[in-house]
Amino acid sequence: MTRIFDNEDDVYYEYDDGPEFDYFALFLSSTAELSGTAVSIFIIDRIGRVNSLVVFFILGGLSVFSLCLVDGLGLGRWVVISLALVSRASEMGAACVTWVATVELLSTEILSTGHSALNFCAKFGAFFSPFLVDGEVSIITIGVVLICVNFVAAALSSTLIETNGVEMGKAVLIEEARSMDGMIDARSVDYDIQTKYQEMKHAPTF
């Protein structure tokens, strides 16, 4: 966002020296994280965890790519700000739903280990991100990378178990049932899990 709203070559503000940013636009785009959190709270139980993740990641990827695409085209300040709002809200919504889904997907025995492993992986992204958005990399290249990352995340999210309404710790059993797909052993998987699995198979998805 700081590169998008860098006004060094624009006419929004005139300073004698130092960086020239559209601070109002940066502040306004930051408030989108509040709306992203609110929207995720509103839809996560209505359309489910998986659908929420897919929608947020696809919308985030498209809006970020569009934001990078229109940069410098002179389409107007508020067009860029609007895309920035959608981008940050979508990515924040995806992050919120991811944390909820992770807790529900991992069993109690591996919950702490799983969260630690995911945080460890996240640090790789945090490490390489500054190199991606460095001034030497073109805005279009950044947009292509980010839309690819978001689309991969959406594709992977679509393969997850829908945990909406599933009792904590039972997602692993549903995954076992799904892996057998039609060969569910009633002696090893209880009736509630079988029923939930069948509902999951026939539930509408986007």
Could you tell me what percentage of the chain is helix, strand and coil, using 3-state DSSP and rounding each to the nearest 5?
Answer: 65, 0, 35
**Non-local CB neighbours of 97 within 8 Å, separated by 6+ positions:** 40, 44, 49, 52, 53, 56
In this prediction, residues 74-102 reach a mean pLDDT of: 86
Higher pLDDT among residues 46 and 12, named by residue = 46
pTM over 0.75: no
Arch. (CATH architecture) of 23-157: Up-down Bundle (1.20)
Q: What is the pLDDT of residue 128?
A: 85
Listed in order, the ranges of the chain carrying CATH 1.20.1250.20 are: 23-157
Which two structure tokens, joined as six digits, stand for 178?
């799904």
**Beta bridge pairs of residue 6:** 21
Q: How confident is the model at residue 55 (pLDDT cuts 50, 70, 90)?
A: very high
187: how many CB neighbours lie within 10 A of its CB?
6
Residue-level pLDDT at 14: 46
Per mean pLDDT, which range of 8-12, 21-25, 86-90, 120-124 is the poorest? 8-12
Q: Could you tell me what percent of the chain has a pLDDT over 90?
A: 25
The overall average pLDDT reported for the chain is 77
- DSSP class of residue 14 equals -
Cα separation, 89 vs 40, whole angstroms: 9
What digits encode the pLDDT tens for the residues 105-127?
877 777 788 878 888 888 888 88
Residue 185's pLDDT is 44
Asked if pLDDT for residue 189 goes beyond 80, the answer is no
Mean pLDDT of 179-203: 52
Burial of 161 (0-12, 13-18, 19+ CB in 10 A): buried
158-185: average pLDDT: 69
